[in-house]
Amino acid sequence: MPGAYTSWMTRCFRIPLRGVLLLAALLLPAVHAADNPPTHTVPDTLAQRIASCTACHGEHGEGSPGTGFFPRLAGKPAEYLARQLRYFQLGLRRYGPMEYTVRPLTDTYMHEIASYFAQQEVPYSPSPTPRVSAAQLARGQALTEHGDPGRKIPPCQACHGSQLTGVQPSTPGLVGLPYDYVSSQLGSWRTGTRAAAAPDCMSTIANRLTPADITAVSAFLATRQLPADMHAQPPGSVTPPLQCGVLGNAPPAEAPVKGDGA
């Protein structure tokens, strides 16, 4: 019996022992890999660090005119771009992905990002043409070029330049932006989901526009022929004849107009 018992015990434990040895052989490389994880070198370049920006706004900040949602960043004044990043941090501009992206950034880093996109020279792509009437386009042109003095609405050109390409150092261009983006931003100022540091001139102006005005202005800007030179005008080339949307004399030096545009 002892011999039979020993033989039975041997048969019972032989297979499990083999299984343990096999399992150990399989796990050993994994354990070794955990102790010595593979190294992946991520290039420490600005292009790599702004991948979260270019994923939506394009490799060079050209925007996504086909969707009409993500605006162009390329060529906009650096100070304007840096200010908008800061506004997302402060909650003055509301858009979840942008708020999350900029939350940990320093002022120095945001200015570096802004300078990169401001220096990009890429062609403009046509945006989808909105379906509006000729009368709406004419109304949009009138508001853009002449405003509506009776309702204290200044012309867009008063701040954004005669060619609507923006003015250095901090007023953005309006031409070349998709209709959906411009109309949504004017609507955001009306609802308070976009704001700027006081005095918030665009909020004042947007709240004097009717929904029909917003449609007209956005459509005209989206369909306006692009000028040959799309660069922002030099500093001091435009003296806005308004103080936060009130037509009249130019504002005093101690209360500069905030050119936060679109």
Is 163 domain-assigned? yes
Instruction: Give domain status of residue 120, yes or no.
Output: yes
Q: What is the pLDDT along the chain (262 residues), one digit of tens a residue?
A: 444 433 433 444 344 444 444 434 444 444 445 566 666 676 778 888 899 999 999 999 999 877 778 899 999 999 999 999 999 999 999 999 999 999 999 999 999 999 999 999 999 988 888 899 999 999 999 999 999 999 999 999 999 999 999 999 999 999 999 999 999 999 999 999 999 988 899 999 999 999 999 999 999 999 999 999 999 999 999 887 566 655 544 333 333 334 566 6
| 169, part of any domain | yes
d(CA 21, CA 65): 61
Model pLDDT for residues 151-163, shown as the tens digit of each residue: 999 999 999 999 9
Q: Phi/psi of residue 30, each to 5°?
A: -65, -40
| 244 in a structural domain | no
* Count: domains in the chain: 1
pLDDT tens track for 140-192: 999 999 999 999 999 999 999 999 999 999 999 999 999 999 999 999 999 99
CA atoms within 13 A on the CB side of 124: 24
Q: What is the CATH number of the domain that holds 132?
A: 1.10.760.10
Residue 202: domain span: 46-223
Do the domain assignments include residue 81? yes
CB 237 within 8 A of CB 175: no
259 assigned to some structural domain: no
Question: Is residue 14 domain-resident?
Answer: no
Is residue 87 assigned to a domain?
yes
